[in-house]
Amino acid sequence: MRATELVIGLLYFCACIGIALYFQRKAGKHARAYWGAGQTIGVWVNGFAQFSALVSAASFLGFLGLCYKLGWTFTSIAFGVSSTLGFVVCMLLASGPLRRYSQLREKFTLSNFFSERYGDATGLATSIFVLILFPAYIVPQLMGGGLAGAYVLGIDFTYAVILVGVVYVGYVLLGGMLSVTWTDFLQGMLMLGFMLGLSLVAISHFGGLGELIPQALAVNPHFLGMHPKISPWTYFGISVGVFMFALSSPHIIMRLFTAKSVRAGRLSLAVTGGTSLVFHLLGYIGIAAAALVLFPQLENIDNTYIVVMDQLFPPLVRGLAVAGILAAIMSTTDAMLLAAGAEFSNNIYKRYFKPGASDEEVIRVAKVVMAVIGVITITLALNQTKSIGVIVGLLVEGTGSAFAVPLLAGLWWKRANKVGGFVSVVGGFGTFAVVHFMKIVPMFAEILISLPVSLLCMVVGSLLTAPPSGETVEFVEQLHCGE
């Protein structure tokens, strides 16, 4: 057991639970407060909270492992540049209208918007996909928690996963969006600090990038370039996938609804985009290069961050860095759990089972759903054998395939109608699943087929059927009007 790291990890957990308890009083009773954080969140807090929701176990463990194995160009293109562009386009096209939508209708999920824009069937399909995708996304987070927990506590991976899972689910149940946003803000700064911090320490340890990179290239000659064993379509596909994910993922869209104004929501996305770019480009290069030099034959590439940290940081800083990893896992897990709970309670329970349910009852149902998802995901994490980076990469692409086209068309194309929306969501996700399982294209290139299919479904479905009602057109126009 590593005592210093353990103490710091425990302090970190206690701080998160403390924040949840503090905000519990403010966030308990009304939908606007629980799901929308009272729409009081400013630019920097929301910017870092969104960054936290994006950065996950995959960013600290899985993707960094891919950088070690496939090179810096792969992760820079796939995760740094593409997520930044996704946030920027979201800021330009989606953030303002969606923030106005939440203000007008007091609704806080993407499927609420789809229900209103495209009808109940599309809203239900969206909820179902979120309830499939997001718990699956939580699984690799808990695996990452298990790796970090096992490192710190020296306990078995199984117990580490259970411990981390129970703490995370517990604090989301307590506080809702307000506590999640504030803890995510702190976690975002922690993650950025420790990713860049370790990278800079690694670079200076080797006497600068000019010394480090040639040594890394001696171990992996493709560290800076395109890896010859990876198809160019994989590079293009993962880039488009992450782009579309950052633009349309429901757990990030939910954060736009919490902004205190349309302008604050927009600027927060610029903060998120800039932070993500620096994190993935500057953070990864030093750590992955140092790992190549220090551990040329690393067996489990998911451990890249942990082995470099273990080598270069003193115990006290190691403890804080482990807290950074736990923060990455926690911030994504809580956002996903919250989004899945909101989908079920607001869009399935309240709509189909009990339309007259009060806000309090809906929140209670959401908490039960989140607890159940917590138990299921902990169980799945204990039995998962795939690499964290691969699982997350696929889920990211599935999400982008389903939601990006209907989101943009719903906001910007007045002719988009119920049929177009429904076939676009279902067609995009269905095509992604079919292409992936039939292995028609290289890994991560599935979205290059599923996204155009989603677009085609939207255009053909809308143009071949009756245009949307005047009321719907007016609703879309309203979303683009200022104060």
Partner 1 sequence: MHPGLVAAILLFVLYFASWFLFLVLHPTAQIAGVPLITWSLIAVAVLGIIGSVVVTGSIGRWENRS
**C-alpha distance from residue 321 to each of 80, 147, 302 (Å):** 21, 14, 16
Sign of CA dihedral 284, 287, 290, 291: negative
User: Whole-number minimum distance, CB 240 to partner 1, in Å?
Assistant: 9
User: Whole-number minimum distance, CB 341 to partner 1, in Å?
Assistant: 31
Q: Is position 415 an interface residue for partner 1 (rule: CB under 8 A)?
A: no
Q: Is position 266 an interface residue for partner 1 (rule: CB under 8 A)?
A: yes
Region of 261-269, 312-320, 421-429, 452-460 interacting with partner 1 (CB under 8 A): 261-269
Cα 464 from Cα 60, distance rounded (Å): 46
For residue 259, give the 3-state DSSP assignment. Answer: strand
Region of 222-230, 318-326, 356-364, 365-373 interacting with partner 1 (CB under 8 A): 222-230
Output 100 or 318, the one with its CB closest to partner 1.
100
Q: Is position 267 an interface residue for partner 1 (rule: CB under 8 A)?
A: yes
Region of 200-208, 265-273, 377-385, 398-406 interacting with partner 1 (CB under 8 A): 265-273
Q: Is position 413 an interface residue for partner 1 (rule: CB under 8 A)?
A: no
User: Whole-number minimum distance, CB 74 to partner 1, in Å?
Assistant: 9
Region of 48-56, 268-276, 321-329, 462-470 interacting with partner 1 (CB under 8 A): 268-276
User: Whole-number minimum distance, CB 235 to partner 1, in Å?
Assistant: 7
Cα 333 from Cα 195, distance rounded (Å): 19
| Residue ranges in 196-215 that form contacts with partner 1 under rule CB under 8 A | 213
Cα 63 from Cα 301, distance rounded (Å): 9
Residue 42 has which token pair? 């400013």
Residues touching partner 1, count (CB under 8 A): 40
Q: Is position 243 an interface residue for partner 1 (rule: CB under 8 A)?
A: yes
Cα 311 from Cα 3, distance rounded (Å): 17
CB 114 within 8 A of CB 425: yes
**CA 478, 479, 482: angle at the middle one, nearest 5?**
80
Residues 6+ apart with CB under 8 A from 9: 149, 152, 319, 322, 323, 326
Cα 231 from Cα 308, distance rounded (Å): 29
Output 136 or 453, the one with its CB closest to partner 1.
453
User: Whole-number minimum distance, CB 317 to partner 1, in Å?
Assistant: 29
- Which string of x and - marks every residue 70-99 that binds partner 1 (by CB under 8 A)? --xx--xx--xxx-xx--xx-xxx--x---
Q: Is position 471 an interface residue for partner 1 (rule: CB under 8 A)?
A: no
Q: Is position 239 an interface residue for partner 1 (rule: CB under 8 A)?
A: yes
CB 374 within 8 A of CB 337: yes
Region of 125-133, 217-225, 313-321, 338-346 interacting with partner 1 (CB under 8 A): 217-225
Region of 199-207, 225-233, 347-355, 434-442 interacting with partner 1 (CB under 8 A): 225-233
| Residue ranges in 113-172 that form contacts with partner 1 under rule CB under 8 A | none
Query: What letter does residue 279 receive in the DSSP assignment?
Result: I
User: Whole-number minimum distance, CB 73 to partner 1, in Å?
Assistant: 5
Output 83 or 346, the one with its CB closest to partner 1.
83
For residue 223, give the 3-state DSSP assignment. Answer: coil
Exposure b/e, 409-441, CB count within 10 A at least 16 = b: bbbebbebbbbbbbbbbbbbbbbbbebbeeeeb
User: Whole-number minimum distance, CB 424 to partner 1, in Å?
Assistant: 18
Exposure b/e, 247-276, CB count within 10 A at least 16 = b: bbbbbbbbbbbbbbbbebbbbbbebbbebb
Cα 166 from Cα 222, distance rounded (Å): 41
Q: Which residue has the tokens 């068309």?
A: 409
Which residues are at the interface with partner 1 (CB under 8 A)?
A: 72-73, 76-77, 80-82, 84-85, 88-89, 91-93, 96, 213, 217, 224-226, 232, 235-236, 239, 243, 262-263, 266-267, 269-270, 273-274, 277, 281, 412, 480-483
